[in-house]
Amino acid sequence: MPEPVPRAGRGVDLDGTTLTVIADRVGGRAETRGVSNGKDTAMTSQPTPVDPPQLHQSPAFAQGMIAPAGPTLYVGGQNGTDGAGALLDGLAAQTEQALRNVLAVLAEAGTGPEHVAKLTIYLDPSVDPDEAYAATGAVWGEHRTAVTVLGVAPARPGALVEIEAIATIP
């Protein structure tokens, strides 16, 4: 078996710690591990939250996410529609269903909410975002990720919410 050829790249400084990623090429296959404060650490297959101490800390979302290299799933915008394509009534019902639709796409790709690096949530400008946030917690649970919420006119008449996701595939 050929000897590994180390290749190192210096990463960002997180909380005063320099993260260096080292990739070893062994027989054409890359193996990655992290080195933080001089300690060798295993890289996780799940995105890792980045929450700088000078920014607001939220239990619901992360300020940023580090996603490990590998296959990535981009979930297209999901509305609050059932299996027949009919929109559910009301913001809470549509938000919960849109998230269930996102979860179905994740599951079909062999991943789950714990591997989501980013959600983008588009809300009709006429709705109360607090109602959508409450509905999100009911389906999404405690899976913190980076989130962007925008007020935009819906492309589909009657749609009050549309949700996209970016996830790693373990």
At 83-133, the pLDDT tens digits run 999 999 999 999 999 999 999 999 999 999 999 999 999 999 999 999 999
Residues 21-48 have pLDDT tens digits of 433 333 333 334 444 444 444 556 789 9
CATH number of 72-168: 3.30.1330.40
This prediction has a pTM of: 0.71
Say how far apart CA 130 and CA 92 lie, in whole Å. 10
Domain ranges of the chain: 1-43, 72-168
For the cut 70, the answer to whether the pLDDT of residue 63 exceeds it is yes
